[in-house]
Amino acid sequence: MHDWWNGPCRPLDELSREQALQRQAQLTKPQGALGQLEHLAVQLAALQGCARPQVERVHVSVFAGDHGVVAEGVSAYPQSVTGEMLRNFVRGGAALSVLARRLDAPLEVIDLGTVEPLQLDGVSHLRLGPGTANFAREAAMSDEQLRLALAAGRDSARRAAGRAAQLFIGGEMGIGNTSSASALAAALLPRSPLMLVGPGTGLDHGGVRHKLEVIQQALRLHGGHCSGPLETLRRLGGFEVAALTGAYLACAQLGIAVLVDGFICSAAALCAVRLNPACRPWLIFAHRSAEPGHLAVLQALDAAPLLDLGLRLGEGSGAALAVPLLQQACALHNEMATFAEAAVSDRLA
Residues known to be catalytic: 315
Query: For the chain, what is the largest distance between any 2 Cα atoms, rounded to a whole number of angstroms?
Result: 70
The phi and psi torsions of 138 (rounded to 5 degrees) equal: -160, 175
What is the rounded distance in angstroms from the CA atom of residue 113 to the CA atom of residue 31? Answer: 50
What is the rounded distance in angstroms from the CA atom of residue 269 to the CA atom of residue 88? Answer: 26
Consecutive H or E run containing 310: none
What is the rounded distance in angstroms from the CA atom of residue 125 to the CA atom of residue 128? Answer: 9
What is the rounded distance in angstroms from the CA atom of residue 253 to the CA atom of residue 275? Answer: 13
What is the rounded distance in angstroms from the CA atom of residue 186 to the CA atom of residue 119? Answer: 35
| DSSP letters for 58-81 | EEEEEEEE--GGGGGS--SS-THH
